[in-house]
Amino acid sequence: MKKREVLVHGDNLKEAHMVVQNLLEEHESIMHTEILTKGRRGFWGFFRKPATIKVIINAGQSRGYQKQQEREQDGMAEISEGVLKVYGPSGGRKKAVIIPAAGAILRVNGVPTRGSRQVGEDEEVEVELIKNIGEAKLEVEISKDNLIAGVRITPQITIFHQLVDQSRQNVLQLITHQQKIEKRVITFTEVEEALQAYGVSFGIDHNEIQKAIAAADGDWWVVARGQPVHQGKDGFVEYMFQCEPVEIKYGEEEWVNYWERYTFPGVREGEVLAVLHPAQEGLPGKDVTGKDILPKPIKEAYLQVKDGVKISDDGCKAIATISGRPVLEGYRKKYIKIVKCMIHPGDVDIKSGNLRFEGDLMILGNVKETMQVAAYGEITIMGNAADAVIQAGGKIFCRGKFFGSKVRAGGLTSFYNRVSKLLDKLDEILDWIMKESIRVREYSLHENKLDEVYLNEIVVYLIDYKKAELEKLLNEYISIIEEQDIPFPSTIKDLVPAIKNLISSRWRKDISIYDEVNSIREKNQNITKILEAIPEEACDIYCSYAQGSILETNCNIIVGGQGCYQSSLIAGKQIRVNGTFRGGEMLANQDILVDEAGSEGMSAGKIKIKTSDKAIVTLNKVHPETIVRLGNQSYLFEEEMERVKMYVGVEGKIKINNLTSGGVSHRMSSTRVQGKAPN
């Protein structure tokens, strides 16, 4: 049996079903329907989609109907080459049904219709296609700081609608096809006029304008840029020092040394304390409207100095003329000055931490147990020091007493005397390595046996050859530094890692080990110059009493109060004890004067006095078992004596003068004194 398919359209399914029911009433019992699309309303007429139902009719089920079809014909409509055509109906059948579409207006007899409409061929039917034209736009915008101007150009957009061709059908749903055409109509002149209207006259980029016109993409294009202002800089003073003590910060995994709490700022003569950075003028700019942009006014800075500080010849640096503590004082105008002495107002204890200062140091309180005090200059202690370590480059004055303490003055000179030989030996080794490296390299290049790049290998080989000597020198150098707690210049300590790196060097193509050797040699020579420049300052030690302590200096030791008990006094020059010296030893290179040596009762030789054979030992009172050594000769007192003067005579024997209370001098040889030379 033959079947016939009919497509029925409507704005929605309900309308399509009504059309099917009205149009095919007599075939309702013999037709089969299938919904193809449910339809979509769209937005403002765009993207609309009709509902479509496919109807299948069995043509062979009714012969009467088939003959009737030949005599009767429903109205039909089609779209051919974009034109709507309507046919019939005939035999009283129903008219064709036309359903409008988005982008097209259906007019029947001159009247527009919005919904589906039955039409016949005797009616005037036309379709008006909608044409939308969007005008081109030109916008101008200037930034808030007037340094940038931009334009945004959109093209002229025209939207056309065309009818899609469809075959003849009783229910015709119009279908349109949309076409968009863009046209760039904005001209260069129009852009220039728009910019002028906004006052843009500077920094216009004509190339960017052409690009913006060609693109016309609706994006912002920067077409003019002003010249930014370059702000000047105020003058300022850069201070190269700290005024207040700096608390030492320990990491979470570091061992916390509760005795090392602060570092105290100090400077040396010749050190740069501050640098003046002059003000810098700014440069004016210009915005896109042509207006000048002026930089902000600048402020000058000035260096102000007082005691212990001078300004360099160029006026840009403040330089210390003495060593000490830098101080910045003043409210509006800051002045830099050097205080040679730093004053610690209380005790040196676990709260203050150990004290180290690169100048003179005065402590108004006591130095408590286990604490350490070190100064590059002099140290003055107004109280006592107990179980402490005191080291100074200059004098040490203790108004109170030393108990169980180690006291050393004149550490700078002592350090130089001990380390100078090591520095000289190091210089010899480094000089030998450099000379041998050049000699081997020149020979190898002359013989065409070696290329320049292998100089590193030569140097490494020579370093390995001298490795044992370098390691020995390094260990001795480290040992001497660790013994000295005086705050030396950092250059002296920096030599240690430099030598360690040299010893462990391995050949690398990207560095010159020869240059490293030369750099270390220069550091070594600089250290020698620093140490040779150490002034010969007095480094006496003075205290009122010492018990269980060690006092050591290159100069004089003076104990001005009760004396000493079980202590060691070591002096490069003289020793004077105004009180009683009970137990211990005294070592000096010059004269020794003691009010009372030993105590009543046998001292069992616990007092030893030693000096050079050129010195004089004066004992206002001496008890038995006191040993005095002059040069390589010793004498042991076996009885108490008063007002004794000892020296080595021209014959090389110890002479003892016993001064009477009347002031008469009796010169006696050592054989007439009731005593003997100890074994």
pLDDT in tens, 38-54: 777 665 555 567 778 77
Q: How confident is the model at residue 71 (pLDDT cuts 50, 70, 90)?
A: low
* Sign (positive or negative) of CA dihedral 424, 425, 430, 431: positive
Q: What is the DSSP string of 369-417?
A: TT-EEEESS-EEESS-EES-EEEESS-EEESSEEES-EEEE-HHHHHHH
- Report the percent of the chain where pLDDT is more than 90: 40
- β 3-10/51-58 pair status: antiparallel
CA distance 181 to 310: 82
CA distance 161 to 450: 87
Length of the chain: 679
| Per-residue model confidence (pLDDT) at position 282 | 92
CA distance 87 to 199: 66
- Asked whether the predicted pLDDT for residue 496 surpasses 90, the reply is no
* Average pLDDT of the residues of the chain: 82
CA distance 371 to 383: 14
| Per-residue model confidence (pLDDT) at position 668 | 37
- Asked whether the predicted pLDDT for residue 275 surpasses 90, the reply is yes
CA distance 523 to 557: 36
Q: How confident is the model at residue 194 (pLDDT cuts 50, 70, 90)?
A: very high
Query: Please, which contacts does 259-265 make with residues 24 or more away whose CB atoms are closer than 8 Å?
Result: 259/350, 259/353, 259/354, 259/370, 259/371, 259/372, 260/353, 260/354, 261/350, 261/351, 261/352, 261/353, 261/354, 262/352, 262/353, 263/356, 264/325, 264/342, 264/355, 264/356, 264/357, 265/241, 265/325, 265/326
Helix (H) or strand (E) holding 276: strand 272-277
- The residue-averaged pLDDT of 219-248 equals 87
Residues 6 or more apart in contact with residue 251 via CB below 8 angstroms: none
CA distance 215 to 208: 10
Q: Which has the closest alpha carbon to 125: 101, 153, 144, 105?
A: 105
CA distance 555 to 570: 9
- Residue 510 to residues 441, 453, 500: CA-CA distances in angstroms? 18, 10, 19
3 state DSSP class of 457: helix
- Asked whether the predicted pLDDT for residue 64 surpasses 70, the reply is no
- Residue 626 to residues 578, 618, 633: CA-CA distances in angstroms? 17, 13, 14
Q: Which has the closest alpha carbon to 615: 582, 655, 664, 567?
A: 655
- The residue-averaged pLDDT of 346-358 equals 86
- Asked whether the predicted pLDDT for residue 25 surpasses 70, the reply is no
Q: How confident is the model at residue 213 (pLDDT cuts 50, 70, 90)?
A: very high
- β 137-142/3-10 pair status: unpaired
Q: By the 8 A CB rule, do 330 and 349 touch?
A: no
- Asked whether the predicted pLDDT for residue 28 surpasses 70, the reply is no
End-to-end CA distance of the chain: 153
- Asked whether the predicted pLDDT for residue 663 surpasses 60, the reply is no
3 state DSSP class of 452: helix
| Per-residue model confidence (pLDDT) at position 505 | 60
| Per-residue model confidence (pLDDT) at position 431 | 87
Phi, psi of 443, deg, nearest 5: -65, -45
Q: How confident is the model at residue 673 (pLDDT cuts 50, 70, 90)?
A: very low
Residues 6 or more apart in contact with residue 365 via CB below 8 angstroms: 344, 345, 346, 347, 348, 382, 383
**If you average pLDDT over each of 282-286, 494-498, 601-605, which comes out highest?**
282-286
| Per-residue model confidence (pLDDT) at position 56 | 72
- The residue-averaged pLDDT of 6-17 equals 73
Q: How confident is the model at residue 628 (pLDDT cuts 50, 70, 90)?
A: very high
Task: Name which of 66-75, 207-216, 380-389, 445-454 the model is least confident about.
Answer: 445-454
- Asked whether the predicted pLDDT for residue 325 surpasses 80, the reply is no
Task: Tell me how far the alpha carbon of residue 408 is from its chain's centroid.
Answer: 41
CA distance 95 to 123: 11
- Residue 114 to residues 64, 98, 562: CA-CA distances in angstroms? 38, 10, 128
pLDDT digits (tens, 9 = 90+) for 518-564: 888 888 887 777 666 555 567 889 999 999 999 999 889 999 888 99
| Per-residue model confidence (pLDDT) at position 47 | 59
- Asked whether the predicted pLDDT for residue 250 surpasses 90, the reply is no
- The residue-averaged pLDDT of 100-128 equals 91
- The residue-averaged pLDDT of 338-346 equals 82
- Asked whether the predicted pLDDT for residue 283 surpasses 70, the reply is yes
- Asked whether the predicted pLDDT for residue 642 surpasses 80, the reply is yes
CA distance 503 to 26: 114
- The residue-averaged pLDDT of 62-87 equals 75
| Per-residue model confidence (pLDDT) at position 670 | 39
- Asked whether the predicted pLDDT for residue 238 surpasses 50, the reply is yes
Q: By the 8 A CB rule, do 559 and 400 touch?
A: no
| Per-residue model confidence (pLDDT) at position 357 | 80
Q: How confident is the model at residue 165 (pLDDT cuts 50, 70, 90)?
A: very high
**If you average pLDDT over each of 332-336, 444-448, 542-546, which comes out highest?**
542-546
| Per-residue model confidence (pLDDT) at position 259 | 54
Q: Is the bond preceding 487 in cis, omega lying within 30 degrees of 0?
A: no
Helix (H) or strand (E) holding 419: helix 411-446
- The residue-averaged pLDDT of 478-485 equals 73
| Per-residue model confidence (pLDDT) at position 362 | 86
- The residue-averaged pLDDT of 239-263 equals 65
Count other C-beta atoms under 10 Å from residue 634's C-beta.
Answer: 16
Amino acid (1-letter code) at residue 187: T
CA distance 552 to 66: 141
- β 285-286/148-154 pair status: unpaired
Task: Name which of 371-385, 405-419, 576-590 the model is least confident about.
Answer: 405-419
- The residue-averaged pLDDT of 2-25 equals 68
3 state DSSP class of 560: strand
- The residue-averaged pLDDT of 165-194 equals 92
CA distance 576 to 599: 17
Count other C-beta atoms under 10 Å from residue 517's C-beta.
Answer: 21
Q: How confident is the model at residue 245 (pLDDT cuts 50, 70, 90)?
A: low
Residues 6 or more apart in contact with residue 409 via CB below 8 angstroms: 391, 392, 393, 394, 395, 396, 539, 540, 541, 552, 553, 554, 555
| Per-residue model confidence (pLDDT) at position 30 | 47
Task: Name which of 250-259, 357-366, 542-551 the model is least confident about.
Answer: 250-259
Largest CA distance in the chain: 180
Task: Name which of 153-157, 338-342, 615-619 the model is least confident about.
Answer: 338-342
Q: Which has the closest alpha carbon to 240: 309, 182, 181, 341?
A: 309
CA distance 314 to 33: 105
Residues 6 or more apart in contact with residue 368 via CB below 8 angstroms: 347, 348, 349, 350, 386, 388
Q: By the 8 A CB rule, do 597 and 643 touch?
A: no
Task: Name which of 243-247, 266-270, 273-277, 583-587 the model is least confident about.
Answer: 243-247
Q: How confident is the model at residue 252 (pLDDT cuts 50, 70, 90)?
A: low
Count other C-beta atoms under 10 Å from residue 213's C-beta.
Answer: 20
| Per-residue model confidence (pLDDT) at position 23 | 55
